[in-house]
Chains A and B, each alone.
Chain A
Amino acid sequence: MNILGINYIYHDSTACVVKDGKLVVSLEEERLNREKHTYAFPKQAIERCLEIAGLTAEEIDHIAISFRPDLERPRKIVYALKLGPKTRTFSSKELGFALFATRAFRLWFDATFTKGKKPKVHFVPHHLSHAAGSFFVSPYESAALLSLDGWGEWATTFKGVGRGTTVECFAQDLFPYSLGAVYEAPTDFCGFRTSYDEGKTMGLAPLGNPDTFSGIVEKIFWINEDMSVGVDLSYFDFQHYGPRCSKKFYETFGQPRQKTWNARFEQHHLDVAAAFQKQLEECVLKIARQLHERTQEDYLVISGGVTLNSVANGRLVRESGFEDLYVMPAAGDNGTAIGAAYYVYNSILGQPRTFVHDDPYVGTEYANDTIQKLLEECKLEHHYLPDDQLEAVTAGLLQSGQIVGWFQGRMEIGPRALGNRSILANPTLPDMKDRINAEVKHREAFRPFAPSCPIEDTPQYFEQHVADPFMLKVCRVRPERQAVIPAVPHVDGTARL
């Protein structure tokens, strides 16, 4: 049985193929159309996925899409009418969005399946794609489930429990009560791109003092005793699909940073990032502790854009009461293509769970012959290194301070380069972080780099007691090791292991 999973609705359009319960390939459209976080319909990704899976379109039995356009429509209408003067902007955007959403898929579907058997199409609610989908590919037989993002059709969270192939939902928060949307405000305030650059806000936070504004921010968003999200909406305008921050936000915190990459960071920008990051961590922890108490499960499965906040995830591992957590390598919307496909496979079709998504290398790969041909076409001087020398030679180059582009095997899925399409450098050289940020990545100097470490050596360097293959659980570098690997620790002594 072949299932094609598709996410294209919000951002990070992605396709995947699940063949008899096994994830054989998954590709993000951005890698192919070279537009980061693209929301284009993943036409190229679908074509390449089918090619890699060795399938024709006719051989697809089911299509799983990670949102349901008609979900919560009455609620949206009531909400829109209540907005008063802002009803029009909201309705036109919401309506335009729904039209775009259905049309892009229909166009592709009609062009692809012209005759013969057509696959069955399933529109899976967005947060079920996140939460249930992640659970079905997690290594746990049962676990507490938590998904947190900006917003899906209307829901912003999913809190529940998964056992076997059944998933129970305790509660969901609804727009505009959203941790993800709230965290976009400091992102915007610090001059970054909202919905994409929240990771930069997280990286900026340790440079600021959270206490400057924590008293105020605690009253801007919080978690109630029943696990629901509380937000003081007067600080925001996203609830009308307007700008992220309201006038009151600027009156309270000051002038925002200019939206150019080299604009100066004032102290209050850093402090706002720090206060929102701290409060986000507290909120996520509070929900997780309540979930732990209610479910008494040992493990937690998290998903959704907010769970790309690896600093908060690190605290979940250490402080929530759960023994460990599972998070997909593509925990954001890209992973919902996989989530929706597995929701269809395990829940709708009732197939047993047989697959664990612990391998992020599910993308394209290129043979040595292809590479050699290309290098010759480009007239590039190149040397062949046999397998037994490849790593030794690269290690030697790194040792001498060279920066190496490393392209091996199948491409990784998710927002982080995880070692198959990565930039490698020697972490023991003190100027390495600044060199890569300036010479290679052309990015803000404060942003940290991730160390890669064999799992058996992890305890020697890091205060991490669980495996973290997807760079999504931040931990501390052992204080006595910080000077040994100066390019690795962030200003607060943590590492994106």
Chain B
Amino acid sequence: MGEPIVESPQDAIRCFFSTGLDYLVLGNYIVGKQPGILPDAPAVRAFATSRSPPISIDREAVEDPVPVLAADNQPCLLQDREVAGRS
């Protein structure tokens, strides 16, 4: 408790291993906690797109100040749209 925000990658690695963080993303590198469980990127990516709640963002609904849920009543994650835009 009471550490300043991390400054360097060293600080980040120290923080990573002294807390319950599961993954660490440093720049373009990703580190997992236990050897061998680090998923290769395409698999995680597939996971990211397949297991997410369906990304059925209705463009009109986005403009609408009254919030709406996706078609199957699942909440949409904020990141999903980016994922969708890219894949």
Contact = CB atoms under 8 A, between A and B. Distances in A.
A443 B1 contact: yes
A441 B29 CA distance: 23
Contacts of A390: 25, 28
A459 B65 CA distance: 6
A387 B11 CA distance: 23
Nearest to A417: B5
A374 B51 contact: no
A391 B83 CA distance: 8
A382 B30 contact: yes
A35 B45 CA distance: 39
Given A35-B4, A396-B45, A454 B12 contact: no
B72 interface: no
A403 B24 CA distance: 9
Nearest to A390: B28
Interface in B22-42: 22-32, 35-36, 38, 40-41
Nearest to B32: A381
Contacts of B6: 31, 407, 421
A388 interface: yes
A383 B29 CA distance: 5
Q: Majority SS of interface residues in chain A?
A: mixed
Contact of B26 (A386, A389, A407): A407
Given A368-B27, A423-B21, A457-B78, A389 B65 contact: no
Contacts, number: 189
Contact of B80 (A372, A395, A440, A459): A395
Given A36-B4, A393-B45, A441-B1, A404 B29 contact: no
Interface string B1-20: 11111111111110110011
A366 B8 CA distance: 7
The residue in B22, B52, B83 that gathers the most chain A C-beta atoms within 10 A of its C-beta is B22
Interface stretch (A95-103, A172-180, A477-485): A477-485
A1 interface: no
Nearest to A370: B9
A43 B55 CA distance: 50
A31 B75 CA distance: 37
A374 B47 contact: no
Nearest to A369: B27
A396 B47 CA distance: 6
B38 A381 contact: yes
Interface string B63-79: 00101010000010111
Given A36-B3, A395-B79, A440 B28 contact: no
B86 A392 contact: yes
A461 interface: yes
A396 B20 contact: no
The residue in B9, B20, B25, B69 that gathers the most chain A C-beta atoms within 10 A of its C-beta is B25
Contacts of A370: 9
A375 interface: yes
A484 B25 CA distance: 26
A397 B3 contact: no
B60 interface: no
Contacts of B82: 391-392, 395
B56 interface: no
Nearest to B77: A399
Contacts of A18: none
A34 interface: yes
B20 A385 contact: no
A450 to B, nearest CB: 13
A392 B27 contact: no
Contacts of B28: 368, 384-387, 390
Given A399-B48, A399-B51, A380 B7 contact: no
A226 interface: no
A461 B68 CA distance: 10
A421 B14 CA distance: 13
B80 A404 contact: no
A457 B2 CA distance: 33
Interface string A174-208: 00000000000000000000000000000000000
A371 interface: yes
Nearest to B29: A382
A421 B20 contact: no
Contacts of A411: 5, 7
Given A375-B26, A375-B29, A439-B19, A421 B86 contact: no
B32 to A, nearest CB: 7
A121 interface: no
B26 A393 contact: no
Interface string A439-454: 1111100000000111
B79 A391 contact: yes
Q: Which 8 A-B pairs have the closest CB atoms?
A: A396-B48, A439-B20, A395-B79, A31-B7, A402-B22, A460-B67, A405-B24, A30-B4
Given A382-B30, A392-B83, A396-B48, 7 more contacts: A36-B3, A386-B28, A392-B86, A398-B77, A405-B16, A405-B25, A459-B65
15 contacts: A35-B4, A363-B7, A366-B8, A366-B27, A370-B9, A381-B35, A391-B83, A395-B48, A395-B82, A397-B44, A403-B23, A407-B25, A408-B27, A441-B19, A478-B67
